[in-house]
Amino acid sequence: MQLSDDFPMIMEREAGMEEHIPPVSVAFGLFPMLDGRRTQEAGHEVYRDVEHVKIAVPGDRNSLFFQPSNDVYRKRFPKAYAAYQERGRKPMEGMPIENWAPISRSVAFNLRAANIDTVEALAAVHEGHIDRIGSNGRELREKARAWLADAKSGAETVRLAAEKQDLIDQLAAMQAQINALAQQGVKLPEAGAASPEAARKPAKARA
Protein backbone atom coordinates (compact mmCIF):
# COMPACT_ATOMS: atom_id res chain seq x y z
CA MET A 1 0.00 0.00 0.00
CA GLN A 2 1.45 3.35 -1.01
CA LEU A 3 0.26 6.49 0.72
CA SER A 4 1.10 9.75 -0.99
CA ASP A 5 1.21 13.33 0.30
CA ASP A 6 -2.57 13.09 0.65
CA PHE A 7 -1.71 11.86 4.17
CA PRO A 8 0.75 14.41 5.63
CA MET A 9 1.27 13.32 9.23
CA ILE A 10 1.19 15.59 12.28
CA MET A 11 2.00 14.81 15.89
CA GLU A 12 -1.05 14.80 18.17
CA ARG A 13 -1.90 13.42 21.57
CA GLU A 14 -5.25 11.67 21.64
CA ALA A 15 -7.99 13.93 23.02
CA GLY A 16 -8.49 13.47 26.76
CA MET A 17 -5.16 11.70 27.34
CA GLU A 18 -2.86 12.87 30.14
CA GLU A 19 0.35 14.76 29.44
CA HIS A 20 2.62 11.79 30.14
CA ILE A 21 1.03 9.87 27.24
CA PRO A 22 3.22 10.53 24.18
CA PRO A 23 1.61 11.84 20.99
CA VAL A 24 1.38 9.77 17.82
CA SER A 25 1.65 10.60 14.14
CA VAL A 26 -1.82 11.06 12.67
CA ALA A 27 -3.29 11.99 9.30
CA PHE A 28 -6.68 12.01 7.64
CA GLY A 29 -7.08 11.87 3.90
CA LEU A 30 -8.88 10.40 0.92
CA PHE A 31 -7.96 6.93 -0.34
CA PRO A 32 -9.46 5.33 -3.49
CA MET A 33 -11.51 2.19 -2.91
CA LEU A 34 -13.13 -0.02 -5.54
CA ASP A 35 -16.87 0.59 -5.91
CA GLY A 36 -18.34 -2.82 -6.71
CA ARG A 37 -21.76 -1.60 -7.88
CA ARG A 38 -20.42 1.17 -10.11
CA THR A 39 -17.76 -1.17 -11.49
CA GLN A 40 -20.43 -3.68 -12.52
CA GLU A 41 -22.52 -0.96 -14.14
CA ALA A 42 -19.63 0.65 -16.03
CA GLY A 43 -17.85 -2.50 -17.15
CA HIS A 44 -14.51 -1.26 -15.83
CA GLU A 45 -13.01 -0.59 -12.44
CA VAL A 46 -14.57 2.46 -10.78
CA TYR A 47 -13.01 3.83 -7.63
CA ARG A 48 -14.35 6.39 -5.19
CA ASP A 49 -12.40 8.33 -2.60
CA VAL A 50 -13.16 7.29 0.95
CA GLU A 51 -11.96 9.20 3.99
CA HIS A 52 -9.29 7.21 5.86
CA VAL A 53 -7.24 7.72 9.00
CA LYS A 54 -3.56 6.85 9.30
CA ILE A 55 -1.96 6.45 12.75
CA ALA A 56 1.59 5.45 13.59
CA VAL A 57 3.79 5.38 16.69
CA PRO A 58 7.09 7.09 15.89
CA GLY A 59 9.95 4.58 16.04
CA ASP A 60 7.69 1.50 15.84
CA ARG A 61 7.80 -0.01 12.35
CA ASN A 62 4.89 -2.35 13.10
CA SER A 63 2.48 0.25 14.45
CA LEU A 64 0.93 1.56 11.24
CA PHE A 65 -2.87 1.71 11.44
CA PHE A 66 -4.81 2.59 8.29
CA GLN A 67 -8.55 2.18 7.71
CA PRO A 68 -11.72 4.11 6.81
CA SER A 69 -12.36 6.92 9.26
CA ASN A 70 -15.42 7.66 11.36
CA ASP A 71 -16.55 10.06 14.09
CA VAL A 72 -14.65 8.13 16.75
CA TYR A 73 -11.29 8.91 15.13
CA ARG A 74 -12.30 12.47 14.25
CA LYS A 75 -13.02 13.15 17.94
CA ARG A 76 -9.88 11.36 19.13
CA PHE A 77 -7.63 13.48 16.88
CA PRO A 78 -9.42 16.80 16.23
CA LYS A 79 -6.27 18.74 15.22
CA ALA A 80 -5.32 16.24 12.52
CA TYR A 81 -8.88 16.20 11.23
CA ALA A 82 -9.01 19.99 11.12
CA ALA A 83 -5.76 20.01 9.13
CA TYR A 84 -7.28 17.55 6.67
CA GLN A 85 -10.38 19.71 6.23
CA GLU A 86 -8.23 22.77 5.54
CA ARG A 87 -6.47 20.96 2.70
CA GLY A 88 -9.88 20.47 1.06
CA ARG A 89 -9.14 17.98 -1.71
CA LYS A 90 -12.09 17.17 -3.96
CA PRO A 91 -13.15 13.50 -3.82
CA MET A 92 -12.46 11.40 -6.91
CA GLU A 93 -14.78 8.90 -8.57
CA GLY A 94 -14.03 6.86 -11.66
CA MET A 95 -11.05 5.04 -13.13
CA PRO A 96 -7.89 6.68 -11.72
CA ILE A 97 -5.86 8.03 -14.62
CA GLU A 98 -2.67 6.40 -13.29
CA ASN A 99 -4.36 2.98 -13.44
CA TRP A 100 -5.30 3.36 -17.12
CA ALA A 101 -3.18 0.89 -19.07
CA PRO A 102 -2.93 2.75 -22.44
CA ILE A 103 -0.79 5.57 -21.01
CA SER A 104 2.56 5.73 -19.24
CA ARG A 105 3.07 6.93 -15.70
CA SER A 106 4.66 10.17 -16.92
CA VAL A 107 1.60 10.93 -19.07
CA ALA A 108 -0.62 10.21 -16.07
CA PHE A 109 1.37 12.71 -13.98
CA ASN A 110 1.03 15.33 -16.70
CA LEU A 111 -2.73 14.78 -16.86
CA ARG A 112 -3.04 15.03 -13.09
CA ALA A 113 -1.16 18.32 -13.26
CA ALA A 114 -3.95 19.48 -15.59
CA ASN A 115 -6.58 18.45 -13.00
CA ILE A 116 -7.51 15.31 -14.92
CA ASP A 117 -7.69 12.59 -12.26
CA THR A 118 -9.80 9.97 -14.04
CA VAL A 119 -10.39 8.50 -17.48
CA GLU A 120 -13.92 9.90 -17.29
CA ALA A 121 -12.51 13.41 -16.76
CA LEU A 122 -10.17 13.01 -19.73
CA ALA A 123 -13.05 11.94 -21.97
CA ALA A 124 -15.01 15.03 -20.91
CA VAL A 125 -12.31 17.66 -21.57
CA HIS A 126 -13.88 20.61 -23.40
CA GLU A 127 -12.66 21.46 -26.88
CA GLY A 128 -11.56 24.87 -25.66
CA HIS A 129 -9.16 23.26 -23.15
CA ILE A 130 -7.94 20.23 -25.06
CA ASP A 131 -4.80 21.92 -26.46
CA ARG A 132 -3.69 22.82 -22.95
CA ILE A 133 -2.92 19.22 -22.04
CA GLY A 134 -0.44 18.71 -24.88
CA SER A 135 -0.16 18.17 -28.60
CA ASN A 136 -1.69 14.69 -28.29
CA GLY A 137 -4.60 15.87 -26.15
CA ARG A 138 -7.25 15.06 -28.75
CA GLU A 139 -5.80 11.61 -29.34
CA LEU A 140 -5.84 10.87 -25.62
CA ARG A 141 -9.40 12.15 -25.29
CA GLU A 142 -10.62 9.96 -28.15
CA LYS A 143 -8.86 6.94 -26.68
CA ALA A 144 -10.56 7.61 -23.35
CA ARG A 145 -13.98 7.95 -24.99
CA ALA A 146 -13.53 4.75 -27.00
CA TRP A 147 -12.29 2.86 -23.96
CA LEU A 148 -15.27 3.95 -21.85
CA ALA A 149 -17.70 3.07 -24.67
CA ASP A 150 -16.19 -0.41 -25.03
CA ALA A 151 -16.33 -0.94 -21.29
CA LYS A 152 -19.98 0.13 -21.13
CA SER A 153 -20.85 -2.16 -24.05
CA GLY A 154 -19.15 -5.03 -22.27
CA ALA A 155 -21.09 -4.32 -19.10
CA GLU A 156 -24.37 -4.41 -21.06
CA THR A 157 -23.39 -7.74 -22.62
CA VAL A 158 -22.66 -9.15 -19.18
CA ARG A 159 -26.00 -7.86 -17.87
CA LEU A 160 -27.99 -9.43 -20.73
CA ALA A 161 -26.15 -12.73 -20.30
CA ALA A 162 -26.96 -12.71 -16.59
CA GLU A 163 -30.65 -12.05 -17.30
CA LYS A 164 -30.71 -14.88 -19.84
CA GLN A 165 -29.12 -17.25 -17.33
CA ASP A 166 -31.67 -16.21 -14.68
CA LEU A 167 -34.50 -17.08 -17.09
CA ILE A 168 -32.91 -20.45 -17.88
CA ASP A 169 -32.57 -21.17 -14.16
CA GLN A 170 -36.23 -20.23 -13.53
CA LEU A 171 -37.46 -22.51 -16.34
CA ALA A 172 -35.27 -25.34 -15.04
CA ALA A 173 -36.71 -24.88 -11.54
CA MET A 174 -40.27 -24.94 -12.90
CA GLN A 175 -39.56 -28.11 -14.89
CA ALA A 176 -38.08 -29.74 -11.79
CA GLN A 177 -41.28 -28.94 -9.86
CA ILE A 178 -43.40 -30.41 -12.67
CA ASN A 179 -41.29 -33.57 -12.71
CA ALA A 180 -41.56 -33.91 -8.93
CA LEU A 181 -45.36 -33.58 -9.06
CA ALA A 182 -45.53 -36.16 -11.86
CA GLN A 183 -43.53 -38.65 -9.78
CA GLN A 184 -46.02 -38.15 -6.95
CA GLY A 185 -48.87 -39.09 -9.28
CA VAL A 186 -50.34 -35.61 -9.46
CA LYS A 187 -52.05 -35.08 -12.79
CA LEU A 188 -51.50 -31.67 -14.27
CA PRO A 189 -54.06 -30.12 -16.65
CA GLU A 190 -53.02 -30.12 -20.28
CA ALA A 191 -52.48 -26.83 -22.02
CA GLY A 192 -55.82 -25.36 -23.11
CA ALA A 193 -57.87 -27.77 -20.97
CA ALA A 194 -60.52 -26.36 -18.67
CA SER A 195 -59.92 -26.50 -14.95
CA PRO A 196 -62.08 -28.93 -12.84
CA GLU A 197 -63.94 -25.95 -11.35
CA ALA A 198 -64.76 -24.58 -14.79
CA ALA A 199 -65.91 -27.99 -16.01
CA ARG A 200 -68.42 -28.27 -13.14
CA LYS A 201 -70.05 -24.94 -13.93
CA PRO A 202 -73.25 -25.21 -16.09
CA ALA A 203 -73.03 -23.66 -19.51
CA LYS A 204 -75.04 -20.50 -20.02
CA ALA A 205 -78.09 -20.87 -22.24
CA ARG A 206 -77.92 -19.07 -25.48
CA ALA A 207 -80.44 -16.27 -26.04
Beta strands in 36-182 (DSSP E): 47-56, 65-68, 93-94
* Same domain flag for 84 and 103: no
Q: Sorting pLDDT into bands at 50, 70 and 90, what band is 91?
A: low
In angstroms, the CA 145 to CA 94 distance is 13
* Same domain flag for 105 and 159: yes
The 10 Å Cβ neighbour count of residue 7 is 19
Cα 5 to Cα 31, 87, 89, 107, 162, distances in angstroms:
11, 11, 12, 20, 42
Asked whether the beta carbons of 86 and 52 are under 8 A apart, the reply is no
In angstroms, the CA 103 to CA 97 distance is 9
* Same domain flag for 88 and 68: yes
* Same domain flag for 62 and 140: no
* Same domain flag for 43 and 105: no
* Same domain flag for 146 and 90: no
pTM of the entire predicted model: 0.52
Which range has the worst mean pLDDT, 43-47, 72-76, 79-83, 122-126?
A: 43-47
* Same domain flag for 114 and 156: yes
* Same domain flag for 8 and 80: yes
Q: Which domain holds residue 172?
A: 96-182
Residue 198: burial class (beta carbons within 10 Å; 0-12, 13-18, 19+):
exposed
Torsion angle of the four alpha carbons 125, 128, 133, 136, in this order, in degrees rounded to the nearest 10: 90
Q: Sorting pLDDT into bands at 50, 70 and 90, what band is 81?
A: very high
Please provide the average confidence, as pLDDT, over all residues in the chain.
79
